[in-house]
Amino acid sequence: MGILSKRIVVLPGDGIGPEVCQEAVRALKAVADKFGHEFVFDYQLMGACAIDATGDPLPAATLEACRAADAVLLGAIGDPKYDNNPSAQVRPEQGLLRLRKSLGLYANIRPVTAYDRLLEHSPLKKDRIQGADMLIFRELTGGIYFGEKGRNADGSAYDNCTYSRFEIERIAHRAFRAAETRRGKLTLVDKANVLETSRLWREVVQDLALQYPKVLVDYLFVDNAAMQIILNPRQFDVILTENMFGDIISDEASVIAGSLGLLPSASVGDEVALFEPIHGSYPQAKGKGIANPIATILSAAMLLEHFGLQEEANSVKKAVDNALEQGVLTPELNAKSPYTTEQVGSFVAYGILDILDCQLHKNNIALGLSTII
Ligand SMILES: NC(=O)C1=CN([C@@H]2O[C@H](COP(=O)(O)OP(=O)(O)OC[C@H]3O[C@@H](n4cnc5c(N)ncnc54)[C@H](O)[C@@H]3O)[C@@H](O)[C@H]2O)C=CC1
Ligand SMILES: CC(C)CC(=O)C(=O)O
Ligand SMILES: [Mg+2]
């Protein structure tokens, strides 16, 4: 792959979003320096910050910039002043959902890995999670999050869940193809004993399975899946599921990795792809320097893979592995001698730049010397 010139729209968003985005951009800048690429970063508003500035959580200028970009990097959106106000007319989350829908980002891909170095920090049984490695395909533009919702005259409320065969087929094909390149197993997580939409998911997946004879297909009800993911995560290879179930079980699966702050994602579909950590804006941590930036840094690695820059992506992943290995960890993973968001980010950037005397950098951090990159 030659030298690339790419325009990346950055949507830092709210809460810890700007802090974790800053570290992912630092990693991308290190990659650009090392490999000679040109990445132009175009910062745009989305979420609560966009409501505050324009009244709209997804201003037209932001959507336009995303459409014209080569990729989008998102931090997170959401603010308690909207969460705690049930009568708020406009919400940050509406901006995110509208962005996903507008860009046709129907497949959200969330890798989950058990890191050897972090096993000791896990509340889960080490011998059960060691080696766990799964890829969750979460449908992202349909289902209950996008169905008609409202209040009835009697004061009751409703959220409708609808799926079409087409919506299921397009993400199922992607999940089957991924399973073919991995360990050849696909688990559909649904609630087909109760929900009609889930029965349609099963029918479609059963039909498509005929086109992928090398893939072993398994079906699990979501309640059972929620338990199995924790109890015996190594049984999973590719998980395919609808929007809300995928949202919930992937946050749960982050316990296998060790923290919600470690899980990245790629959202892909018809237009430009978007990369974001699976976590939210963690408002309690805003400005404290305690947020783990690795989920966003690994999302940047997925962005590089999307550009076809595998070696570059590997350099980011290797630098992250090294940070974990060396114990350069934010407080939720190591309360005793924690590193800040920025220190973890700059340690990773050093690793990308092959300044392999990371010990020196670690010492600098210990001495309180400022980050250099
Ligand atoms: N994609 C997005 O932008 C998302 C936005 N949200 C929004 O975020 C706001 C907060 O929602 P919550 O339910 O509290 O979810 P959250 O994901 O922001 O935080 C849940 C918990 O996970 C941990 N955590 C999350 N990110 C972390 C990080 N980088 N490092 C270390 N620990 C981390 C913290 O213990 C935190 O209390 C809400 O406004 C919500 O709507 C929630 C999920 C996704
Ligand atoms: C607005 C929500 C659906 C965001 C969320 O929880 C997620 O995408 O994981
Ligand atoms: Mg979520």
Q: What is this structure's pTM? A: 0.96
Nearest CA-CA partner of 272 in 27, 48, 42: 42
Same domain, 16 and 141: no
List the Cα angle 176/259/33 in 5-degree steps.
80
159 is a catalytic site residue: no
Structure tokens of 172?
Answer: 């199922």
3-class secondary-structure state, position 85: coil
268 lines ligand 1 (CB under 6 A): no
3-class secondary-structure state, position 238: strand
Pocket test for ligand 1, best of 58, 94, 262, 281 (most atoms within 8 A of CB): 281
42 is a catalytic site residue: no
The residues facing 40 across adjacent strands are: 7
291 lines ligand 1 (CB under 6 A): yes
Which residue, judged by its Cα, is nearest atom 37 of ligand 1?
282
Of the residues 207, 223, 270, 354, which is catalytic? 223
Closest atom, ligand 2, to C-alpha of 278: 9
The predicted pLDDT at position 100 comes to 98
Enumerate helices (H) and strands (E) in the chain, giving the number of each: 14, 12
The predicted pLDDT at position 369 comes to 58
Same domain, 132 and 250: yes
CA–CA distance, 300 with 307 (Å, rounded to integer):
11
Asked whether this complex has an ipTM greater than 0.95, the answer is: yes
Q: DSSP state, 369?
A: P
Same domain, 112 and 132: no
Same domain, 161 and 243: yes
Of the residues 251, 286, 318, 321, which is catalytic? 251
CB of 292 closer than 8 Å to CB of 261 = yes
The predicted pLDDT at position 33 comes to 96
Q: At a CB cut-off of 8 Å and minimum separation 6, what does 81 contact?
A: 48
Pocket around ligand 2 at a 6 A CB cut-off: 93, 96, 145, 247, 278
Same domain, 284 and 191: no
Positions of the chain with pLDDT under 70: 356-361, 363-364, 366-373
259 lines ligand 1 (CB under 6 A): yes
From its phi and psi, is residue 327 left (phi > 0), alpha (psi between -120 and 50) or beta? left
> Which of 201, 224, 257 delimits the end of a domain?
257
Q: How many domains does the chain fold into?
A: 2
CA–CA distance, 48 with 114 (Å, rounded to integer):
33
In the chain, % of residues over pLDDT 70 = 95
Residue type at position 311: E
CB of 47 closer than 8 Å to CB of 17 = yes
Closest atom, ligand 2, to C-alpha of 78: 1
Structure tokens of 75?
Answer: 């931090």
List the Cα angle 53/55/58 in 5-degree steps.
90
The predicted pLDDT at position 12 comes to 98
Residue ranges making up the domain that contains 253: 123-257
Closest atom, ligand 1, to C-alpha of 295: 29
93 lines ligand 1 (CB under 6 A): yes
Structure tokens of 131?
Answer: 């080696």
Give the position of tokens 């059960």: 128
Structure tokens of 312?
Answer: 């570059």
Structure tokens of 25?
Answer: 């951009």
282 lines ligand 1 (CB under 6 A): yes
Same domain, 106 and 150: no
Closest atom, ligand 1, to C-alpha of 16: 29
Which residue, judged by its Cα, is nearest atom 42 of ligand 1?
280
56 is a catalytic site residue: no
- 151: exposed, middle or buried (Cβ count in 10 Å: 0-12, 13-18, 19+): exposed
Same domain, 248 and 307: no
The residues facing 158 across adjacent strands are: 150
Q: What is the CATH number of the domain that holds 226?
A: 3.40.718.10
> Which of 234, 257, 280 delimits the end of a domain?
257
79 is a catalytic site residue: no
Q: DSSP state, 211?
A: T
Which residue blocks in the chain are alpha helix, DSSP H?
A: 17-35, 48-54, 60-68, 80-83, 92-102, 126-129, 165-181, 196-209, 222-231, 243-257, 294-306, 310-325, 341-352, 358-366
Give the position of tokens 């690429």: 37
Same domain, 246 and 334: no
